[in-house]
């Protein structure tokens, strides 16, 4: 039986969220919590999906109906990615056979680590291997980004880039720039707020605000872009104190945009009081995670302070490799 297993990393936004949706840059790192996808051949022309982490068990559809009709929420990215690959390869069947996909994740989809984007990238890389399409990273990025836009209508694609390329990236809207930041470590502390955020709702909220006060929102995005550009070289030089200060300034702008929460603010404040160089929310805001950079000898105190403020410390490696084949 023909089979292939691939994996892709999750992501953490370091700086530049929201502004990156509007033609500004951001910095993102790939994290060591990965999604794994196995593709197996079926003898009938059907698509089957088992994705227990998102409550999809033994979902089944005829290959001729892929992307049409009812699609459960948990199957949406995977099925639309399959449709996009089949369309771009110009095939409407798989030689009379079907495929089964099984996903496993190392992390909860609650954390905002980009599990949908990582799964989308896995599907495209996995199908490329399975169907012998030899897609390069740029083609995988383009098809995955199209899938995200097809499903949720909005997004910069930064999470797709992290899942495809891995490492730590300087990224600009839609993949106009995808530039690796050459570092061997990114010592960040991650705290989960316990609240699941909805990215599209937060993007819409800012789009609405921008309608009534375009120059102020635009000004904030320009400021954020300036901070991101400074952080790019500062991270390479490992000037963590300066990186922390840039993160703090980024957080103030996010707060004034209205996307932080009391819980995130309390965790960020606690981290700074315990000696962190800097701390900010990571991602869309409204919940999910905050990140901090701290001197090595203060790391434990910062973690304890975040915990005392009601956060959950997530031990996760950053700057890890992108999508890859695990087994044939
Ligand atoms: C969400 O994690 C980050 C945003 O900038 C959205 C995006 O870039 O797609 C708010």
Whether 159 is a known active-site residue: answer: yes
Helix H or strand E encompassing 35? strand 25-42
For atom 8 of ligand 1, which residue has the closest CA? Answer: 156
| Encoded tokens for 73 | 């929420």
Pocket test of ligand 1: the residue of 26, 110, 156, 162 to mutate, having most ligand atoms within 8 Å of its CB, is 156
pLDDT reported for residue 93: 74
Q: What angle do CA 56, 153, 100 make, to 5 degrees?
A: 30
Rounded to the nearest 10 degrees, the angle between the axes of helix 240-257 and helix 214-236 is: 160
State the pairing for strand pair 98-105/46-51.
Answer: parallel
3-state SS, residue 168? strand
Give SS3 for 279: strand
First and final C-alpha spacing in the chain: 10
Q: Is 234 helix (H, G, I), strand (E, B) or coil?
A: helix
The single residue of 159, 213, 218, 297 carrying the catalytic annotation is 159
77: Cβ below 6 Å to ligand 1? no
pLDDT at 95: 75
> Distance (Å, rounded) from C-alpha 124 to C-alpha 144?
7
Instruction: Answer whether 148 contacts ligand 1 (Cβ < 6 A).
Output: no
CB 131 within 8 A of CB 79: no
d(CA 287, CA 267): 11
Any idea what DSSP says for residue 311?
-
Q: From its phi and psi, is residue 133 left (phi > 0), alpha (psi between -120 and 50) or beta?
A: alpha
Q: 156 CB less than 6 Å from ligand 1?
A: yes
What is the pLDDT, as a whole number, of residue 1? 81
How far apart CA 16 and CA 25 sit, in angstroms, is 6
pTM attached to this predicted model: 0.96
DSSP letter assigned to residue 134:
-
Measured in angstroms, how far is the CA atom of residue 225 from the centroid of ligand 1?
14
The dihedral of CA 298, 264, 309, 316: what is its sign?
negative
Q: Which of 24, 228, 284, 287 to mutate to test the pocket of ligand 1 (most atoms within 8 A of CB)?
A: 284
pLDDT tens, the chain, 328 aa long? 899 999 999 999 999 999 999 999 999 999 998 999 999 999 999 999 999 988 899 999 999 899 999 999 999 999 999 999 999 998 877 777 899 999 998 777 777 788 899 999 999 999 999 999 999 999 999 999 999 999 999 999 999 999 999 999 999 999 999 999 999 989 999 999 999 888 999 999 999 999 999 999 999 999 999 999 999 999 999 999 999 999 999 999 999 999 999 999 999 999 999 999 999 999 999 999 999 999 999 999 999 999 999 999 999 999 999 999 999 9
Asked if 75 contacts 59 with a C-beta cutoff of 8 angstroms, the reply is: yes
Closest residue by Cα to residue 7 from 142, 166, 170: 166
**Per-residue pLDDT tens digits for 12-57:** 999 999 999 999 999 999 999 899 999 999 999 999 999 998 889 9
> And the tokens for 262?
């009391």
């Amino acid at each position: 039986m023909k089979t292939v297993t691939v994996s892709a990393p999750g992501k953490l936004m370091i700086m530049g969220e929201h502004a990156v949706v509007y033609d500004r840059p951001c910095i993102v790192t790939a994290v060591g919590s990965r999604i794994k996808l196995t593709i197996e051949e079926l003898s009938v022309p059907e698509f089957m999906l088992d994705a227990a982490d998102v409550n999809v068990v033994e979902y089944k559809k005829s290959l001729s109906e892929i992307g049409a009709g009812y699609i459960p929420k948990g199957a949406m990215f995977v099925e639309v990615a399959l449709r996009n690959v089949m369309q771009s390869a110009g095939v409407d069947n798989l030689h009379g056979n079907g495929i089964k996909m099984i996903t496993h994740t190392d992390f909860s989809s609650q954390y905002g680590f980009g599990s949908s984007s990582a799964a989308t990238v896995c599907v495209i890389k996995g199908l490329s291997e399975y169907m012998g399409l030899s897609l390069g990273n740029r083609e995988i990025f383009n098809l995955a980004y199209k899938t995200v836009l097809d499903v949720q209508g909005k997004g910069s694609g930064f999470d797709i880039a992290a899942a495809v390329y891995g490492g730590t990236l300087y990224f600009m809207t839609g993949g106009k720039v995808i530039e690796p930041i050459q570092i061997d470590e990114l010592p960040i502390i991650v705290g989960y707020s316990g609240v699941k955020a909805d990215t599209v709702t937060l993007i819409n909220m800012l789009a609405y605000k921008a309608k009534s006060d375009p120059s102020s929102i635009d000004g904030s995005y320009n400021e954020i872009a300036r901070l991101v550009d400074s952080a790019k070289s500062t991270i390479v030089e490992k000037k963590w104190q300066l990186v922390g200060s840039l993160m703090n300034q980024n957080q103030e702008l996010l707060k004034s945009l209205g996307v932080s929460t009391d819980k995130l603010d309390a965790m960020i404040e606690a981290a700074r009081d315990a000696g962190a160089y800097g701390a900010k929310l990571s991602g869309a805001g409204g919940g999910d995670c905050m990140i901090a950079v701290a001197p090595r000898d203060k790391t434990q105190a910062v973690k304890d302070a975040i915990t005392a403020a009601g956060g959950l410390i997530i031990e996760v490696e950053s700057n890890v490799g992108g999508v890859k084949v695990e087994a044939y």
